[in-house]
Structure formats: structure tokens, C-alpha cells
Structure 1
């Protein structure tokens, strides 16, 4: 009974710890929990004389591990090999407009954002419903074209094409706001360019090129991004290399 109670307490503590982790850090946190739990389980089984259960489980899972483990290790090594010491914590890019501030997590490819101006200022996009997004989109289209393009990209990543059926402007507006070679309405500052590529001041030429390649893999239109975001990434690279 005390052992069962200990397991329950540890599980509750682990759950609260995981819940308090930033969204961008939850995947690594889960991996840490799995690793620590596995080690504790092996120690516990060894103390109770039931270590044979681990060997039996490994023998059962060996065919699966032999196929999955190499690819996992190669993916991890690849991530370490392309790591950038000048990247920001969490490996993120930030793209801002007059109304919105967006964050793209390089590891997960997820996009989050908040409203910084207008009637809905201060709200996080993750807490909004689809009807509210249409209202916000109409406001952005009337106030700032860049904000409208940025929000459309977010909606495409979150809802796919479903939100367009509720868009009063229809597909024509999407085509007009996302031309083939779209670009931003204003020149980027060095600070904005660094934010977009997820770099710190003083990044070298090679680091800028590597960061551009990494971010473009997430923001390219062929990978769920948009022409607008791809143009901003290219502008950021050109600004920092000029």
C-alpha cells in the first residue's frame, strides 16, 4: 500500500510539473518524464526481485525497437548537428504586424499569437473561437493588410480551409491578400529581422543562412506556410546580410 501511494503521489507531482511547462517545452518534458519513470521502474523491479519482467518486455518489444530506435537516434543527432548557439530559448521566430504578434516554434511547427491592438487587444488567439476570428479578420482587413495576411496564415494552419466557408469576403479576398510574390508593407529593422529568424544580435553570416533555411522549412507555402511569411523570412535574411 505505501508503494502504491508513493506512485500516485509521484504521478500527481509529475502531472502538475508537466502542466506548468511552456507549450514549446512540453514534448522534451514528456520525454524526460518517460525516461525518469523507466529508470525508477527498473530500480523498483530490481529491489522487489521482479527484474525478469523488464527482460521479458524488452524481448517482446525488440522487433519494434530495432526499427524505430535508429530513426529516433538519427533524428536526435540531426537536431544536435543543426543546432545554433545563437538561437533563442525554445528555438522560436517572431513575426509582428500593427495588430498581431505571432510566434512560430521551430521544433513543433506550431504557431501561436496574441492581439496587440484594436477592440480585442490583449487576447491570445488560442482562446478564441472561429466566429471571433472572422470578426478579427474583418477588422484587420480594414486596418492593416499585413495583419490580415498574418491572421489568414494562422487560420490556415489551425483550421485548414474550413474557416473560409464562413468568411464573408470569400476566396477572392484570400487571393487578393496573398499574391504570388507578396511582401510586407514596410522595411524590416535589424531587430525585427533577428526576431523572424530566431537569432540574437551578433549572429554570423553562416548562422543567418542556417537560420533562414531552418525557418523557411516551416514557413514555406509548400509546408503549410504562406507567400507572405516566406517573403518576410527572405526579407529578414537580406536585411541581416546587407
Structure 2
């Protein structure tokens, strides 16, 4: 089941990045001095990531059985349903109105960070949309996207390639999250919320949103997309809808 949820581009780009990275690592090792570059790069990466995670742990509010217990329980249930037995630490941080979330990994521990305005969705009756966002970040952990990026770091420095891999990973996580909450409509709602906010999303015409986005073209539109780590939201919504139709066809074919 899980393999069917993985976007084909993720597999292709990861394989390409892995081959390039292995060749780069071998070249650095054979040059002897390259070993020191690898060690220094690794130390810098750990140091920067450690400071970032330390800031989150110092200032964020950690979900526990006593701290936002309902959201904590829902997140734990989603994680267990997805087969993520080691439930990551989940923190809420103030976001200044930004709607976002992300997953990270540091020294063997996984973390999910939810921006406060995203968590407020649950307080305003949109619990399933928050479930999708949590499931999306859990999918990054399940697929080990963060740790894989460290492994293929040399390839990620190549212009456009690293971003292309990252966008493919986002498509995969959207698929997995929509599948595990078992409702593509809530998945579309969650992405619409990221597009126009937690109040205006109820009035958005999704079909019109997708069609008008397709009508926008030009060099800088293209450049913006290929330089981004995330696909445009209209494309993510359309991808979920398309994949959901494919799953429905598969189910009908299987029953027949």
C-alpha cells in the first residue's frame, strides 16, 4: 500500500541524487583532504541544526497528555495508524500569522513543529484539516526525508535537482496524509487554508483556483516553481484529486 503512495518522481530523483552523492563522496575520500571537508561539513550541519532544534525546545510548547491533550492524542493515534511507533516530539511555536508546519530530525530524535495559527484550526472546528497537516509531517518522518537529505547532500547543491526532489517528497506526503486520514476533501481544505487562510478557505472555488493558476505563465512563473522546495498549492490540490480518482478506479477494478 505504502509504495503505491510514493510519487514516481521521488523515487527517480532520489536514485539520481544518491548516485551523484556516492560518486562525490568517493571522490572526496580518494583525494584524502576531501575526508576533512566531509567531516567539517558534517560538523557544521549538526551545529546549525542543533541550534535550530534547541531554539524550538527552549521556546516551543510541547504536546503532552496534559498539554493540549486532545491534539496530542489525535497526533499519537495518527502516528500509530501510520506505523510510526516512535511518536515524535511535537511542539507548537508562535507564528505571527504564518500557517505552516515542518518535521526535522536531530541526533536520532524526530520532531514536528506546528505553527500556532495552524493549531488554532482545531479550536475552530477544523480538526480533520489539522489531522492532515500532522499526517503530512509524519509522512516525512516515515519516509525518512530529513535523514535522506543528509545522505544525498552533495547532490542537493546541484541547481534545480535538490528542489525537484523536495517537491516530489511533498507530493508523496500529501498522498500519504490524505490516505491515512481517509478523506481527500479534508486534504484539499487543508491546502486551501494554506493558500488563503483559515477563514476565507470556506469560500474559495477550488476549480477556479486551479484553472486560473494554470493560466499564469511566463519565465519568472516557471523560475519561481523550479527554485521552490514545495510545489505550487494549486498543483498539490490537483495532484491529490487526481490520485484520489486513481485510487477509486483501482478499488472498483479490484472489486470487479
Give the TM-score category using the shorter length: under 0.3
Q: Which has the higher contact order (CA 8 A, sep 6+)?
A: 2
The structure with the larger Rg is 1
TM-score, normalising length: structure 1: 0.25
TM-score, normalising length: structure 2: 0.24
